Structure 1
Amino acid sequence: MSNKTAALGADIAIGVAGPLLVLVLWEALVRGLAVPTYVLPAPSAIAAQVVTDLPLLLGGLGVTLGEAAAGYAIGAAIALALACLFVLAPVLERILLPVLVALNSVPVVAFAPVALLWFGMGPASKIAMVTLAVGFAVFVNAHHGLRAVDESAANLLRSFGAGPLRQMVLLRVPAALPSIMNGLRVAVVRSMIIAIVAEMIGAYKGLGWTIFEATQQVDFLRVWAAIAVASAASMAVYGVVNWLDRRLVFWR
């Protein structure tokens, strides 16, 4: 077995051991202290509820993942394009950057009424909110990475006749990949959170709607089951982005 395979196995083992330890302690404390289910259910009770409500939860998960993925892709694409544009055209950066900062100085949830008014109760309003939340996280990291290049390397390319666009492709984007991937990792978690919160504010389906509906019905086990499914899905997607990070930024 190669060193890389052994290191990957060790990372997976450590990553699994932490959550398992938390679940074991959680189960023991809830049972030992006889905590009521409506206050904090045991992990075993939550798992049983997940099995019982699996068709409902999987249907809601499909809707939420679709909204989060669409908003994630759109937000990341816009953010990367803006970051490159600002580096290539500093005048636009001076004009538009204050606008972006002003938009993101307000919690994304505050825009929920506007999003619902403009795009309705369907998936479009959730995608718009996820796009806004994801975009700034990716933009900040990408913009920093594109600017933090070795100036001597940029001067060398310039001496060979490379213009700003060619420098962007050959130097700035590859050098910024670690920062870009950091932004994409952070954005994964934000996309799921915003999609679920947006569904709780106004939707017809999705995990957020399931949580809201179960809360209205005082069915706290179903609330925790939906939270558990959402957490598992977020961790899985986060793992995929981490894998892509290892593949694309192999020198780090």
Structure 2
Amino acid sequence: MSLKVEQLAIGYRSGKKSTVIAENLNFTIKCGELTAIVGANGIGKSTLLRTLGRIQPALNGSILLDEKPVSENTVRELSRKIGVVLTEPLSSRNITVTELIALGRQPYTNWIGSLSAVDLGRVREVITLMGLEPLKNKKCFELSDGQLQKALIGRALAQDTDLLLLDEPTTHLDLYHKAQILKTLQGVAHNSNKIIVFTTHELDLAIQLCDRMLILGPEGYYFGEPCELISQKNFETLFPSDLVRFDAKTGTFKIQ
């Protein structure tokens, strides 16, 4: 299993006019890898993630999952292959944490939406994995932003897809819980042989925990293992050097 991107151009269409945000993207992510997409605000991280998940169309190029173009899958097929956690607010918060996570099993339920023993078992596993046991019976409107974010990630994990895409999954979390979430995602990728891709501003954590990173910059992109990107001085292209400088020795950004 792999996620392969070939000559991809991302952006927006308005009538006959296209606005290109990034183009000529080529990279391959293998199963069992945790990958971060990083870059400055407005550079196209979320646009790329949404394009990978077929939430918005590519302007050019192709996206292949297990050597099959994503565009050739039906909606139901995609729901069993790709799980997505975006930053949009939850449509209804008047459900419990357990009910929210159980929604991730919809692609596998029968026509009346009944949960099987397998579905219920998967929901329990995810609740334990995400540390949501004390919150499982709480309504979503009773949760803090950070707790709700963990539950939304749990819903995607319950979907049990080959590819998991997350937009800023550590938003609203403190440092400990940011590290906890990313460490959990790393474990899921490695132990369950899944492809997990997420956008983030948590560069220091991503460098420490990711197998690969994609740096989007104004002059192009860089893709590879964090140690390779450090040795090639690619992180130094992220921000203007007048205020922020990347320290290759510590793998962290320093304020000038």
Rg larger in 1 or in 2?
1
TM over 0.5: no
TM-score (norm 1): 0.23
The normalised TM-score by structure 2 is: 0.23
